Structure 1
């Protein structure tokens, strides 16, 4: 075990709660920076990306470190908004523990819940920091109540307000009051009962975890202080007790007290084996500086100029310089060991989520299961020549953001970019512009199709006479509908050589060509069966081309008599929502022509429901903002292709008219 104690703390919480400002103050107090930046001025150490400066929100994780006595503490500042949740989950995965920040006025929000569930699932102990206690009309009781509605927490500090101004806090364990210079002051009489109640709750909760303490507590005897302290330490490390502390990141109230508390009670890094092993939890990819991988060292050592094995890609990687970061500022390291976070440039094969080891037989670390992206837009460059560049540079962006999806829709011939929200995709567009691409986002085209409802027989003849050989092909086909999802079937029923064998495939080729544009709105035709039942040929003028044309003509003319109809893609959609929002969600889904399949309780969140429906794709192209609005940001959904169904007549007519107007 190293003589220097190391721990990695993820700073997480809902957007706007002051995480980056908190880290800024901690860095300033610990002399890692000489001047404090602010969100308003766009010069925070941890929000160094140009997009973050412009938008004044964190959009990616960033790291820093401080040293307190014999401890090195790495801080991972994570984004709080849903659009950028991927980096927050990566930061939690790379940490030993966390500080969950809650704004005193806003209390627990949707993203606070999301991060709590992730910390619980990952078994990462954490403390809660109720921030911005300097705000006017702040109500600690209200904020604390919202926290306890999500999980059981214990107040370790209580703010003191005088004349609507926060002047200090009460240490609940010692029942002593302090100002924010950490000087003891008188405990206000009006807060004594409240402080006593919080104190009793703390003593009772800790004592209940050890029989000896519980006996002393119930009998009124003095508690064994050493046993009490050890029990409290173990309880926080095992998530049995979640402490709540208070302060103001903006004014620097209690931020050092918070980090000292976290250093004392939250767990440190472990180094349990001799294997050198590291987890790549973030990739930066910048047009100027190139690729930079952040690695959490899990065990062993990572010296510069060494070779490791990527267990996921089964490739060797050479590590050059080993650096550490404070925001974007790099510092070279002579070596790194368990508990360190290092930055390594230009790894060839390695991506976010990969494990590096000096043992090829080692097991890769299971990485974060990313939430499915659910808002999609079509990506258009300024010219068709941009397609290859878009694919190349999107590959670089995908390396640094695993919540994105990018693919080509073959049916609509569009590039489809899918992310966590509109702001998420706007950031991607801005990043592509830095690579020199002028990009526009449009709603994706819906891959409508056409089919038929009736059967017919039709004959067509292609005849053309010019100088020399002419063209002649004559076919009779039978067209009939197939069950939904059957696709296309071609049946050769020619007997007696009415059409020579070598021209039969030509007829099929002509039919398939004609099926690419249907009679209603030129959407592809599907679920159709064509039988070639008769025909005629000319020994000199018949050719492959003439029978392709005859087959195409017969199909185009015949399909008009088969009552053509429009089909639309149907998705199976799972919507995950709080129980109190189910009625609104179902009402909205019904208005979008959705059909309910089932509803059941979702996972450990007993107040969450999973609603499964079938719904037309066209109805949910812009569903994400509606769902977030109806559920105050708590709902999410995912979809998969189910099949095609006939579009209702009135709706179909509008789609056909729209398609024809675009042609003109």
Structure 2
């Protein structure tokens, strides 16, 4: 989304002429190649695509397809960028689910299929890479049926090839063979050599279409032996696809273009227009009952920013889906973002905001080019330039009637990375760069940890982290270095101990004199810090009791053993001494700190580590491996049970030390083949085992 093209944007006034389709599939399945092929087919005269961050964000192209205008989106397949997949599903009204014939449908494919199912997205399956050496269309078809459930039926089957390239596809409904030798489609009747293909696959397709039909007599006619005409079958097929209950499988070859025409016909004729797809939940800014809207160009303006980029030449670019009303570049809009109301990331770059702004120019995207537009009606996906203050997931509405769209479910950023500026100049540039990164990326969480003093980027995985570091370096000219993430520990008492603090100085004039005797005792976990005094006979004057307490709290906050705050202890002042002239508030604060520091030893104190409750949802096939891994991380299994809304998956709950979770996002992805998800919540603190405690304290601490 960078260059401005001279080609005019397609004009749309009728929402029914719009088709918004997102390509979804795991990395390597061929979504980007299919995207490029469709764009080259429908817009052969477009300029060269500028190089960008491949595989990390949404690509978009608005194209004229027969009687409709198609906006095709390409969502990244890397699991780190599932938030972009969800953004693409929000912007679209249907999906083309891409599966490689060489790799088949796997656990990662099933996880992405579930993403589509959760939002009720109508979808067809596109089997690509038919020309790969180890491609197997029929095995991939069975994979799809096994992983995706009911409604999977092929519309075509590859039947011939030339020098490894698929050039012929059997059209099961028409009973024809489509040849693509030379790059153009020709049609011929099926011969006797193709009978087995049709006998094997056509009955299931026809019966599947009839089951979705709204004609109750159609099945009876079919079972009676009637040869149903193509027009009847196609009508019911298209209706079934639009309802999202039937998922046709189409073979497509990127080498020869085989199957692309059938695919585009299905998109044009069967995929729903914006008026047929449910709108997201919309509420007034500030709260209130949901507002019922429709994809009506004359309705109240409601649009959502689904993707944000910063371009060196054009500036801030926002990819926007208009749900209701008409967006115009010459009229102010209300920009509203409230992730905190929906459990999304908060903090730097994600603060709540409400502003009235005048947008810049509007344009239809063409994969790196911008086709100028004056307005965008309900259902369109457009680029808005210089939309000041707008962040990904923000809502655009009429300033006279501010509304808020409930954003898509944001992925949890659970992989931490601590960074520090490479130079003083980089440190000065970091705050602005961080805010820009967060405004583009609602999944990113930036934490300034007050306990460790570190800046921590919470990311969704290694690819996400690599992208952020790349953007910091290349876009914002900020050099950062990764450093090990520190986990904030605490200290506590192992048993009862006591010591005396004596602060006596005389340097001319008033001296300093304070003596106090303190007893340190452990308390149950979660008790915090308690202070008490049992001084008798006025050994410590009443006016200095508060000074001792203040000194105790100050020293405990600094730590006694390794510089971590002390918690779950009771400190009792039992005795002391004062001087009528030289005692003071500061002297008793100092004496209290000295007394506590006298207790600092590995025999009287221990380190506490934070423990989180970790809830893992994973395929049953990988549950055993995940449980073994949790145990190896010093975790305690709390329990596991089948997942209610996802058959074949289980939920595991465990208590795991936070020190063992620093790389868990990476480990779980490997163990569960990209299908595992987890969340974590603070549980409490437990004593750090001796070996690990000695590592944190240094070799001298164990003496």
What TM-score do you get using the length of structure 2 for normalisation? 0.87
CA shift, 1:460, in A, is 2.0
List per-residue Cα deviations over 1:168-226 (Å, max 9, x = no partner). 11111111101112112464644421222211111111222331111101111243654
User: Which deviates further from its counterpart, 201-210 or 127-136?
Assistant: 201-210
Which of 21, 37, 58 in structure 2 is aligned with 1:25?
A: 37
SS in 2 for 1:651: helix
Q: Could you tell me how far apart the structure 2 residues matched to 1:436 and 1:339 are?
A: 38
User: Does residue 385 of structure 2 align to residue 345 of structure 1?
Assistant: yes
Is the contact between residue 307 and residue 392 of structure 2 (CA under 8 Å) also seen in structure 1? yes
Pair 1:78-2:56 in alignment:
no
Say whether residues 1:220 and 2:261 are aligned partners. no
Alignment of 1:439-458 (within 5 A): 439-458=480-499
Identify the range of structure 1 (561-570 vs 129-138) with the bigger mean alpha-carbon deviation: 561-570
Whether 2:458 is the aligned partner of 1:418: answer yes
Does 1:193 find its partner at 2:196? yes
Match of 1:265 among 267, 270, 275: 270
Alignment partners' CA distance in 1, 2:117 and 2:446: 31
Helix, strand or coil for the counterpart of 1:406?
strand
Q: CA deviation at 1:516?
A: 3.9
How much has 1:164 moved relative to structure 2?
A: 4.7
Q: Summarize deviations over 1:8-40 as a string: whole Å, max 9, x none.
A: 1111111111112211111111135457x7xxx
**Within 1, Cα distance between the matches of 2:219 and 2:628?**
52
Corresponding residue of 1:240: 245
**Distance in 1 separating the partners of 2:15 and 2:386:** 32
Q: Give per-residue Cα distances to partners, 1:418-458, cap 9 Å, x unaligned.
A: 11111210110111113121112233112122111211332
- Select between 384-393 and 276-285 the one with higher mean Cα deviation: 384-393
Aligned-residue offset at 1:506: 2.6
- Which of 368, 384, 407 matches 1:367? 407
Residue 441 to residue 658, structure 1, CA distance change in 2 (3 Å): farther
Does structure 1 residue 291 correspond to structure 2 residue 316?
yes
**Residue 288 of structure 1: how far off its partner (Å):** 5.7
Partner of 2:438: 398
CA distance in 2 between counterparts of 1:333 and 1:226 reads 38
Q: CA deviation at 1:333?
A: 0.5
Residue ranges of structure 1 left out of the alignment (5+ in a row): 38-44, 53-57
Q: Secondary structure at the match of 1:621?
A: coil
Counterparts of 1:132-281 in structure 2, within 5 Å, are 132-151=129-148, 152=150, 153-162=152-161, 164-180=164-180, 181-185=184-188, 187=190, 189-208=192-211, 209=213, 210-223=215-228, 226-270=231-275, 271-272=295-296, 274-281=299-306
Instruction: Tell me the secondary structure at the aligned position of residue 305 of structure 2.
Output: strand
Residue 227 of structure 1: CA displacement? 4.1
CA distance in 1, matches of 2:56, 2:268: 27
Decide whether aligned partners of structure 1 residues 466 and 645 sit closer, same or farther in structure 2, where only a CA change above 3 A counts.
same
Match of 2:89 among 87, 92, 97: 92
Tell me the equivalent position of 2:112: 115
The whole-number CA distance in structure 1 between the counterparts of 2:427 and 2:534 is 44
Equivalent residue for 1:547? 588
Distance of aligned partners of 1:442 and 1:479 in 2 relative to their CA distance in 1, 3 Å threshold: same
Distance in 1 (alpha carbons) for counterparts of 2:249 and 2:207: 16
Measured on the aligned residues, the alpha-carbon RMSD in Å equals 2.4
Q: Give the TM-score normalised by the residue count of structure 1.
A: 0.92
**Aligned counterparts of 2:618 and 2:460: Cα–Cα separation in 1:** 16
Output the CA distance in 2 between the equivalents of 1:258 and 1:606: 31
Distance in 1 between the 2:145 and 2:68 partners?
32
Aligned match of 1:378: 418
**CA separation in 2, counterparts of 1:155 and 1:350?**
43
User: Which residue, out of 638, 646, 658, partners 2:679?
Assistant: 638
Residue 588 (1) aligns with residue 629 (2):
yes
CA distance in 1, matches of 2:84, 2:602: 56
Q: How big is the shift at 1:299?
A: 2.2
Structure-2 separation of matches of 1:569 and 1:335? 54
Aligned counterparts of 1:138 and 1:63: Cα–Cα separation in 2: 29
Cα distance per residue 1:314-368 (max 9 Å; x no partner):
4323223212221222222122112221212232343222222227546533221
- Please, which moves more after superposition, 596-605 or 503-512? 503-512
Question: Does the C-alpha gap of structure 1 residues 509 and 359 become closer, same or farther in structure 2, counting only changes over 3 Å?
Answer: closer
Tell me what 2:278 maps to.
none
Q: Aligned to 1:223, what secondary structure does the other structure show?
A: coil
Q: CA deviation at 1:574?
A: 1.0
Once residues 196 and 525 of structure 1 are traced to their aligned partners in structure 2, the CA distance between those partners, rounded to angstroms, is: 76
Q: Match of 2:501?
A: 460
* 2:15–2:377 Cα contact (<8 Å) kept: no
Q: Give 1:165 shift.
A: 4.2
Q: Are 1:12 and 2:24 matched, yes or no? A: yes
Structure 1 Cα separation of the partners of residues 699 and 140 of structure 2: 52
Distance in 1, Cα, partners of 2:424 & 2:589: 31
**Counterpart in 2 of 1:40?**
none
Q: Write out aligned runs for 1:596-611 (5 A).
A: 596-611=637-652
**Cα 1:138/1:617, change in 2 over 3 Å:** same
Q: What SS does the corresponding residue of 2:678 show, helix, strand or coil?
A: strand
* Partner Cα distance (1:354, 1:83) in 2: 21
Q: 1:382 & 1:352 partners in 2: Cα distance?
A: 29
Q: Judge conservation of contact 2:174–2:230 (CA < 8 Å) in 1.
A: no
- The number of residues matched between the two structures is 646
Equivalents in 1 of 2:646, 2:571: separation in Å? 53
- Matching residue within 603, 607, 613 for 1:572: 613
Task: Label 1:618 to 1:658 Cα distance change in 2 as closer, same or farther (>3 A).
Answer: farther
Alpha-carbon separation, structure 2, partners of 1:147 and 1:527: 55
Could you tell me how far apart the structure 2 residues matched to 1:71 and 1:206 are?
Answer: 25
Tell me the residue number matched to 1:334: 374
Change (3 A) 1:363 1:230: farther
